[in-house]
Amino acid sequence: MSLLASPSLLATGIPYHSFPIISLGPLNLRTFGLFVAVGILIGISVASRRNERFGIPRRDTERVGFILVVSGLVGARLLWAATHVHELGSPLDVIAVWKGGLQFSGGLITAVLIAPIVTRSWQRTQRWSLLDGAIFGLAIGQCIGRFGCISVGEHLGGPTDFFLGMHYLGGITVEGPLVIGETYNNAAIYEVLWLIPVIAVLWWLDRRGARPGVMSAVFLISYGVLRFLTDIVRTHDERVLGLTGAQYMCLVLVPFGLWVLWTAFRPVEVLEFDAESVDATPDQPVGAEPADAEPADAEPADAEPADAESADAESADAEPVEDQPVEDQGPSSESANQT
């Protein structure tokens, strides 16, 4: 029988064995925390480098990013603990992030609430540029961090014959129990797979010079739709009226993303106050009018030499009068004028 004709091989899925701990000699690293930390560092680095091209100092992006990441982690963990109370063995487990358990919706909601406070003194265009860079870094960091969820066996669904399913080969998982040799849906794997083209689109928009806010809108809308569909396969999450907490977040993300997109394409007249704030800065050119006004300002400078020449001429005319020592020069000059 041909290998391609074997339905069992076609339905095997992606081989998977959990790897919650990586041993490096005497050092044991918990993979969930490791991938989350690496995702955060790389995400902030990408965002800060990108924002530098838009005049935002790297230290400002790193400062805002650090505040949003810390607040987001707190919100993500608290929401996960609130929806997984039965998995908490002691109060200390509420902060045991290294064991796995972060609700992305809680982190994103917390970051969205904190961001306007952190950037309240920034200009409007700078806020949107900062948000675009943060979203780009978030998408990359989210993709890397999802490997932490994969490593500990989170976001699992029921059995499937999908060729991109998780073919379980053993190991301790956060969710289960699982049967060795069975293929299961894994929403974390699916999310990594569709985040890759989303990141590619964001990179393309950034290189094309998209309007401030467009990158953010594209991510919010696409993530909201795809994450809502992906969560359908999950079977180990608490549901309210048939939806997970992340799906309720998606119901907010999509209209919010549409609002951001509408804001990005509003007519320029609506954003006049931004131009006024730019006019207030004397060192920054505003447009054609100041450029046209510069020659007018230069005319008095050009006129100064003419005034100086006239002044010199007057002084030259006055010198002979002052230097006349004798009276007989007067008649000679009058006779010369009469001839």
Average confidence score pLDDT of the chain: 76
- Check pLDDT > 50 for residue 293: no
- Check pLDDT > 60 for residue 328: no
Say what the pLDDT of residue 166 is: 94
- Check pLDDT > 60 for residue 188: yes
**Phi, psi values for residue 327, rounded to 5°:** -85, -25
**Residue 99 pLDDT grade (very low, low, confident, very high; cuts 50, 70, 90):** low
Burial 284-316 (b: 16+ CB within 10 A, else e): eeeeeeeeeeeeeeeeeeeeeeeeeeeeeeeee
Q: What is the pTM of this model?
A: 0.69
| Lowest-confidence segment of 36-50, 70-84, 238-252, 304-318 by average pLDDT | 304-318
What is the rounded distance in angstroms from the CA atom of residue 209 to the CA atom of residue 213? Answer: 11
| Domain range annotation of the chain | 10-279, 289-338
Q: Which of 111-115, 166-170, 297-301 has the highest mean pLDDT?
A: 166-170
Strand, coil or helix: 236: coil
Burial class (CB in 10 A: 0-12, 13-18, 19+), 235: middle
**Residue 219 pLDDT grade (very low, low, confident, very high; cuts 50, 70, 90):** very high
**Taking a C-beta distance cutoff of 8 angstroms, is the pair 227, 266 a contact?**
no
Spatial CB neighbours of 337, under 8 Å, sequence gap ≥ 6: none
Q: In the predicted model, what is the mean pLDDT of residues 312-333?
A: 46
Within 13 Å, how many C-alpha atoms sit on residue 275's CB side? Answer: 7
Nearest to 41 by CA among 115, 180, 137: 137
Say what the pLDDT of residue 126 is: 75
What is the rounded distance in angstroms from the CA atom of residue 138 to the CA atom of residue 252? Answer: 18
What is the rounded distance in angstroms from the CA atom of residue 96 to the CA atom of residue 175? Answer: 17
Say what the pLDDT of residue 324 is: 47
Q: Kindly report, residue by residue over 264-290, the tens digit of the pLDDT.
A: 887 654 444 444 444 444 444 434 444
